[in-house]
């Protein structure tokens, strides 16, 4: 059991996992729980994007900003908030949560479940065959008896606009591992990364301009983006909707960056962050050796086995199957796939699993997502528009949080909104959305209701504690009943 591959050797395992982020770790753990031997290959840090450049560091940066904003919304508490945020303290906190970008602990965890960890570039080399190369030129050939799981994640897309090279643009990685605050920061993109990083860096002291082509958080209910935009503007962010970047100029490498917008205006900033989408890390992992197209998203079945490869031995989990580019969804897929691999290896039918059939059903109808902006935005399932487009006969029920006592105790003048989307034919929830301070912890109750298809008649008997923000459930149900 070695952490490195030196000489060219060949080893055989039941399962080979490419990528040791949260998704790879979860599929490895489930395969080991089924009694299968597992090798995990990783080219960067064990723990992946989420642990070091995405979920963990971004939330570590955001939490102090949101905590201060929450205190300022409460009479008596706001008087105790004096002076700016201590950025050195925030960055030190971030560094603790990413273990100073040292993956020793996570590497030990992989070994602790009984899997072998190999460091290096891993590529498919034909059916059930993976080659792990090292910088020294050596390598190890891994043969998989039952499955190869691709868990390679995604990369930030940086648009090819004139001047992009001289701009030295930030991506999510720079935005979460930087330890200096730019005086002026332009953030391009209104998705989750864009709005969260605009929130964080404005709170840490940057003068932030958010440049959005269409709307903020466009995949959620329209009122979410509107309330998040209002919150950002209240915090001092210059939110510009309906614009895009035409060109970039940094005449002096040590000087400011000029951002030329498509409306003809010019913006002078110190740094620019592009949060304009993701691309799959599948361009150099040997897809061509099994008949797939390098650089493509991979189409998978309900167990996350790749459809275009015969034999159900190749699995694509997490971002690269393009179902939902969210860490928790990737981990969910990994648990489903790991159990399916174990069942197939044992010759067991998949529909007799003790936890239900080995199928990633929540990828279709119950995907939860939270954006830790101010106010927070949280949703699960379908929006009203998505449900209607899918052919459901629905009714959307809205509640303003101003009517909820618990919300107003949480924050004076609480501003937020909730919506549930009801399937009128079955009287179950297809989607639930919350936007407002502190709503992230409401979402799992909504996820249970949507994933479990709990009838409205039963939800009426799930009593919310008084006085909490969760009382919004009672108001939603009362509004539906009339």
Q: What is the pLDDT of residues 161-185, one digit of tens each?
A: 999 999 999 999 999 999 999 999 9
Q: Examine the fold and report which residue of 362, 386, 410 is the final residue of a domain before the chain moves on.
A: 362
The reply to whether 175 and 296 lie within a common domain is no
Q: Are 78 and 72 spatial neighbours (Cβ–Cβ below 8 Å)?
A: yes
H helices present in 98-203, as ranges: 104-112, 164-167, 172-177, 192-203
| Residue 459: CATH number of its domain | 3.30.390.30
pLDDT at position 139? 86
Helix, coil or strand: residue 51: helix
Q: Is residue 74 part of a domain?
A: no
If you ran DSSP here, which 8-state letter would residue 461 be given?
T
pLDDT at 1 over 60: no
The Cα-based distances of 293 to 142, 299, 361 in angstroms read 22, 11, 26
pLDDT at position 5? 39
pLDDT at position 303? 93
pLDDT at position 365? 86
How far apart CA 332 and CA 326 sit, in angstroms, is: 10
If you ran DSSP here, which 8-state letter would residue 393 be given?
-
pLDDT at 451 over 50: yes
The reply to whether 183 and 268 lie within a common domain is yes
The reply to whether 270 and 403 lie within a common domain is no
The reply to whether 161 and 150 lie within a common domain is no
pLDDT 10s digits, 17-51: 999 999 999 999 999 999 999 999 999 999 999 99
Q: Is residue 92 part of a domain?
A: no
pLDDT at position 6? 43
Q: Is residue 85 part of a domain?
A: no
Lowest mean pLDDT segment, chosen from 4-18, 275-289, 326-340? 4-18
Q: Is residue 368 part of a domain?
A: no
pLDDT at 362 over 90: no
Q: Examine the fold and report which residue of 243, 276, 309 is the final residue of a domain before the chain moves on.
A: 276
pLDDT at 136 over 80: no
pLDDT at position 63? 98
The phi, psi pair for 55, rounded to 5°, reads -55, -55
pLDDT at position 85? 97
Instruction: Give, for 251, the enclosing helix (H) or strand (E).
Output: none
Helix, coil or strand: residue 398: strand
Q: Is residue 84 part of a domain?
A: no
If you ran DSSP here, which 8-state letter would residue 170 be given?
B
- Domain residues for the domain of 350 are 9-47+103-155+280-362
Q: Is residue 60 part of a domain?
A: no
How far apart CA 153 and CA 141 sit, in angstroms, is: 22
| Other Cβ atoms closer than 10 A to 292 | 21
The reply to whether 271 and 286 lie within a common domain is no
Q: Is residue 186 part of a domain?
A: yes
| Residue 196: CATH number of its domain | 3.50.50.60
How far apart CA 129 and CA 274 sit, in angstroms, is: 37
Q: Are 429 and 446 spatial neighbours (Cβ–Cβ below 8 Å)?
A: yes
Instruction: Give, for 189, the enclosing helix (H) or strand (E).
Output: none
pLDDT 10s digits, 179-213: 999 999 999 999 999 999 999 999 999 999 999 99
Q: List the beta strands (DSSP E) in 22-120.
A: 38-42, 116-119
The reply to whether 432 and 397 lie within a common domain is yes
Q: How many domains are contained in the chain?
A: 3
The reply to whether omega before 375 is within 30° of 0 (cis) is yes
pTM for the whole structure: 0.94
The reply to whether 13 and 137 lie within a common domain is yes
The reply to whether 165 and 268 lie within a common domain is yes
pLDDT cut 90: percent of the chain above it: 93
pLDDT 10s digits, 209-231: 999 999 999 999 999 999 999 99
The reply to whether 136 and 207 lie within a common domain is no
- Confidence class for position 364, pLDDT limits 50, 70, 90: confident
pLDDT at position 2? 42
b/e burial code for range 131-143 (CB count within 10 A of at least 16 → b):
bbbbeeeebbebb
Burial class (CB in 10 A: 0-12, 13-18, 19+), 80: exposed
- Say how far residue 258 (Cα) sits from the centre of its chain: 31
pLDDT at position 356? 59
pLDDT at position 4? 42
Average pLDDT value for residue range 436-461: 97
What is the DSSP annotation of 283-330? TTS-GGGGT--TT----B-TT-BBTTSTTS-EEE-GGGG-S---HHHH
Average pLDDT value for residue range 67-88: 96
The reply to whether 340 and 388 lie within a common domain is no
The reply to whether 401 and 439 lie within a common domain is yes
Q: Examine the fold and report which residue of 253, 276, 299 is the final residue of a domain before the chain moves on.
A: 276
The reply to whether 286 and 353 lie within a common domain is yes
pLDDT at 372 over 80: yes
pLDDT at position 358? 65
Q: Is residue 83 part of a domain?
A: no
Q: Find where tokens 């994007």 sit.
A: 49
Q: What rounded mean pLDDT belongs to the chain? A: 95
b/e burial code for range 161-180 (CB count within 10 A of at least 16 → b):
bebbeebebbbbebbbebee
Both tokens of residue 313? 């031995």
Which residue from 157, 135, 155 is spatially nearest to 19, judged by alpha carbons? 155
The phi, psi pair for 392, rounded to 5°, reads -85, 150
């Amino acid at each position: 059991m070695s952490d490195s591959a030196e000489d060219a050797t060949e080893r055989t395992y039941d399962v080979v996992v490419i990528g040791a982020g949260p998704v790879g770790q979860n599929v490895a753990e489930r395969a080991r729980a089924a009694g299968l031997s597992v090798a995990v290959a990783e080219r960067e840090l064990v723990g992946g994007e989420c642990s070091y450049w995405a979920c963990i560091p971004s939330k570590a940066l955001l939490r102090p900003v949101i905590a201060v904003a929450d205190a300022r919304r409460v009479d008596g508490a706001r008087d105790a908030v004096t002076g700016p945020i201590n950025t050195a303290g925030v960055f030190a906190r971030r560094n603790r949560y990413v273990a100073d970008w040292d993956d020793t602990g996570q590497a030990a965890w992989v070994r602790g479940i009984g899997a072998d960890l190999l460091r290096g570039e891993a590529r498919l080399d034909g059916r059930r065959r993976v080659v792990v190369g090292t910088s020294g030129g050596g390598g190890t050939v891994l043969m998989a008896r039952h499955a190869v799981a691709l868990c390679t994640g995604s990369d930030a897309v940086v648009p090819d606009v004139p001047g992009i090279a001289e701009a030295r643009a930030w991506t999510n990685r720079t935005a979460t591992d930087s330890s200096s605050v730019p005086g002026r920061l332009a953030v391009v993109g209104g998705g989750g990364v864009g709005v969260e990083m605009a929130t964080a860096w404005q709170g840490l002291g940057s003068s932030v301009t958010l440049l959005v082509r269409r709307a903020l958080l466009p995949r959620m209910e329209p009122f979410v983006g509107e309330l998040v935009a209002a919150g950002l503007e209240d915090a001092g962010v210059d939110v510009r909707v309906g614009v895009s970047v035409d060109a970039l100029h940094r005449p002096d490498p040590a000087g400011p960056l000029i951002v030329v917008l498509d409306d003809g205006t010019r913006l002078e900033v110190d740094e620019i962050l592009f949060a304009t989408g993701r691309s799959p890390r599948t361009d150099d992992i040997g897809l061509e050796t099994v008949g797939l197209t390098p650089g493509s998203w991979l189409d998978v079945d309900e167990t996350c086995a790749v459809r275009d490869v015969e034999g159900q031995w190749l699995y694509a989990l997490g971002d690269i199957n393009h179902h939902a580019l969210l860490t928790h969804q990737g981990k969910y897929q990994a648990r489903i796939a790991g159990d399916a691999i174990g069942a197939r290896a044992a010759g067991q039918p998949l529909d007799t699993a003790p936890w239900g059939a080995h199928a990633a059903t929540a990828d279709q109808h119950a995907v939860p997502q939270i954006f830790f902006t101010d106010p927070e935005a949280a949703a699960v399932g379908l929006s009203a528009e998505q449900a209607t487009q899918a052919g459901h006969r629905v009714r959307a029920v809205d509640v303003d949080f101003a009517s909820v006592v618990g919300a107003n105790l949480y924050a004076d003048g609480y501003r937020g909104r909730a919506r549930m989307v009801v399937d009128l034919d079955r009287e179950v929830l297809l989607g639930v959305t919350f936007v407002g301070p502190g709503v992230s912890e409401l979402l799992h109750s909504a996820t249970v209701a949507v994933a479990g298809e709990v009838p409205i008649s039963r939800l009426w008997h799930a009593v919310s504690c008084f006085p909490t923000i969760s009382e919004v459930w009672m108001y939603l149900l009362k509004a539906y009943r009339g």
